Structure 1
Amino acid sequence: MHLRLRIAAVLGVLVAVNALFVLAVLWAYGVLIPGVVAGAIVFARHGTIGFDLVQLPASLTTVAVLVVGFLGAQVYYGYRRVLADTRNGDGDADHAVGRIVRRLAMTADVPEPNVRVVESDDASCYTVGRFTDATIVVTTGLVERLDADELEAVLAHELAHVANRDVTLMTVATLFLEIADRAYRSARLARRAVRAPGSVSFQGRVALQWFFPLVALTYVFVAPILWAFPSIAQWATRTLSHAREFAADAAAAEITGKPLALATALSTLAEADRRRPETDLRAAKMQALCVVPADAVSGRSVESVPTPAQPSDEDERRDRVRTWLEGETPSTAGTSRGGPAATDTHPPVTDRIRRLQRLAADEELESRANREGST
């Protein structure tokens, strides 16, 4: 319940920031800049300023329509961008992964998503699409690295994202972060033109040539208004993403009844992730959709899926989790490729594993109490 309230609160903040962003842009270009120009002309001629800057740039109805349209455009464009590199899989795929997803969907009482198994040595798993038209993408490398229970736990984690509509939430959140950052950067065009002329794009040079007064006024008056939005959007995106990962972990543990299986799967994937060449994860637009921070893959779908290894027993998993946690250090516990940037989309793997470890301990205590109560 705490995670749900946290997600709802962050979503409320995100929607409010979207509305405030639209209102700020409208006010800046509909009231502030015209007011400054008109006030300067009036002051030059009459020595007084009579323009009122404290006013709405449009009616509340118009602002509301623009905010709703802004959010709707983000969802529409975000889906197109997320799905651009991924073809839908076959929802009736008759292989091990498809059968596991089908069974988990029935257990969780959610629409069965499509499944696409991609031939790749990278161990990756992520979900794209909508609640009623979702696709879980799994690589052969993931199937080969995990045992049957671990694979089931990872797929349950992805199914929880489908049930929680996380793809929709993160699509809007990450896209607004990009929009806010680009808007602030565009507002500082005049500064870039002076300090780094070579970094100005062709469109920027055209704007400087034909609309220099507006570009200058934008830098002086609009950029200070927009500077806070990227930071707020980044905080909201990071907080929302961390909360949704914890919620999906807890849901997967509840669906499968095997929290330690997900814990050992995360440790295995984290170790594999460290061995890959370092890349800037901030450039990977779909990393927030993966079970751990990783580049989403695209490739040829396969029909012949490797058979998952036999699962380990609970005592062995418990020892693996304890050994992995004891081997972590402050410098490696929360990092992955790209260093701290990885935690922008996912909480540290160590924190996720510790939570799953506590869930397993609670389940064991509850099971022991039930056995003692029945005797």
Structure 2
Amino acid sequence: MATSTRFVGDAGLTARMTATMFLLGGLFVAVVVGLITIAPPGWGFVIGVVALGILWFQWYNSDSLALKAMRAREVSPQEAPELHDMIDRLCALADMPKPKVAIAYTDLPNAFATGRSPSRAAVCVTTGILDRLTREELEGVLAHELSHVAHRDVLVMTLASSAGIIAGMTMRGAQYGGMFGGFGGGRRDDRNSGVPVWLLILVASLVVYAISFLATRLLSRYRELSADRAGAYLTGRPSALADALVKITGDISSIPQKDLRAASSMNAFFIAPALSGVSMKTLTSTHPSLEQRLQQLAKVQAELSRPLDGSFDDGPPPAGPDLRGR
């Protein structure tokens, strides 16, 4: 699924994205077909059009929806020359099209990438991250985000969320139908041996939503590790990204809870989740733990420090720099 760039490939990411799309695509079709089957006459076509419309809307507007959610604004090279210079250099280094560049005016230190393809993508940073990071640290973050664009995992995450959206809408519809006697009345209830149709829809939708929720989070955690690795190899400075992650994670805890809650819908796309005082070692987390990310970057640093002539084959390579701080 990745486009042709100089970012290191990741077969594991490709396999996981393919499996996730296959699984959630099948669930999406099952939900839509189930709704069409039990819907009153004449509603099948409407349900099909609405479902396809949600998919198309998510796909076509994936670059703008996230920017609007963060109230971000696209900036020109004249407005943000240093930011554009860094992205120009990284895109040339990676041999990939330059995305749109945007800034979200919030003190929350974060960054994300969005878009349906490398040629229709955007990379956004917040003023909070611009104020806190050095040039090298910010370059590491931008390389991480550009890796998401090159591997197309932003699009996969956006489309994968559609199954959850449809399931959530169906759950609300089923609850509404149960309260007001919808979904065809008594005749359809009789066809299900006395079990109300709305209850069957509610249970099925809950299962689909739960699977979608867990599948997207498992993929999200892996894609973050993959982007850390690819970005570190591109810049050749894993320690700069490690320092950035330590700063971002530490400073997020000082952001007011109301601001964190306002940005929580973007957690799966941020370089670090907008959460404070919550353990990331759970099935529901969108990101791997900071410790996992630092350990991986330390390994990349060791690999980059190893001489090409293999002079360390008889023993371990020398220890790399401490990636947990300066």
Q: TM range, normalised to the smaller chain?
A: 0.7 to 0.9
2:185 corresponds to which of 213, 217, 222: 213
Counterpart for residue 286 of structure 2: 345
Is contact 1:128-1:167 (8 Å) kept? yes
Q: What amino acid is aligned across from residue 100 of structure 1 in structure 2?
A: M
Matched, 1:154 2:136: no
Distance 2:64 2:163 in 1: 15
| Structure 2: gaps of 5 or more residues | 1-10, 190-195, 314-326
1:242-281 matches, within 5 Å, as 242-279=221-258, 281=261
1:291-302 matches, within 5 Å, as 291-294=271-274
1:266 deviates by: 0.7
Q: Deviations over 1:236-270 (max 9, x none)?
A: 21122112212211110111011121112111111
TM-score by length of 1: 0.66
Q: CA RMSD in A?
A: 3.7
Counterpart for residue 206 of structure 2: 227
2:90 corresponds to which of 101, 104, 109: 104
Distance 2:262 2:279 in 1: 11
Q: Where is the helix percentage greater, Structure 1 or Structure 2?
A: 1
Counterpart for residue 295 of structure 2: 354
Q: What amino acid is aligned across from residue 236 of structure 1 in structure 2?
A: A
Matched, 1:7 2:20: no
1:105 deviates by: 0.3
Distance 2:29 2:55 in 1: 9
Is contact 2:99-2:123 (8 Å) kept? yes
TM-score by length of 2: 0.75
Counterpart for residue 270 of structure 2: 290
Mean CA deviation greater in 281-290 or 221-230: 281-290
The residue matched to 1:26 in structure 2 has which SS?
helix
Distance 2:263 2:126 in 1: 21
Counterpart for residue 38 of structure 2: 28
Q: Deviations over 1:152-206 (max 9, x none)?
A: 1001011111212233222222243232123123313366x4xxxxxxxxxxxxx
Is contact 1:3-1:247 (8 Å) kept? yes
Is contact 1:273-1:337 (8 Å) kept? no
Distance 1:116 1:211 in 2: 45
Q: What amino acid is aligned across from residue 364 of structure 1 in structure 2?
A: S
Distance 2:65 2:105 in 1: 22
Distance 1:345 1:232 in 2: 15
Distance 2:62 2:100 in 1: 20
Q: What amino acid is aligned across from residue 10 of structure 1 in structure 2?
A: T
1:127 deviates by: 2.1
1:219 deviates by: 2.1
Is contact 2:17-2:153 (8 Å) kept? no
Counterpart for residue 138 of structure 1: 125
Counterpart for residue 317 of structure 2: none
The residue matched to 2:225 in structure 1 has which SS?
helix
Identical positions, percent: 30
1:348 deviates by: 1.9
Over 3 Å counting, the alpha-carbon distance change for 1:291 and 1:104 in structure 2 is same
Q: What amino acid is aligned across from residue 289 of structure 2 in structure 1?
A: P
Over 3 Å counting, the alpha-carbon distance change for 1:337 and 1:99 in structure 2 is farther
Is contact 1:274-1:336 (8 Å) kept? yes
1:171 corresponds to which of 139, 158, 179: 158
The residue matched to 2:170 in structure 1 has which SS?
helix
| Structure 1: gaps of 5 or more residues | 32-56, 194-207, 295-334
The residue matched to 1:289 in structure 2 has which SS?
coil
Distance 1:117 1:223 in 2: 40
1:74 corresponds to which of 58, 73, 78: 58
Counterpart for residue 87 of structure 1: 73
Is contact 2:63-2:120 (8 Å) kept? no
Distance 1:172 1:91 in 2: 31
Distance 1:160 1:173 in 2: 19
Distance 1:111 1:121 in 2: 29
1:3 deviates by: 2.7
Is contact 1:111-1:132 (8 Å) kept? yes
Q: What amino acid is aligned across from residue 270 of structure 2 in structure 1?
A: C
Is contact 1:129-1:167 (8 Å) kept? yes
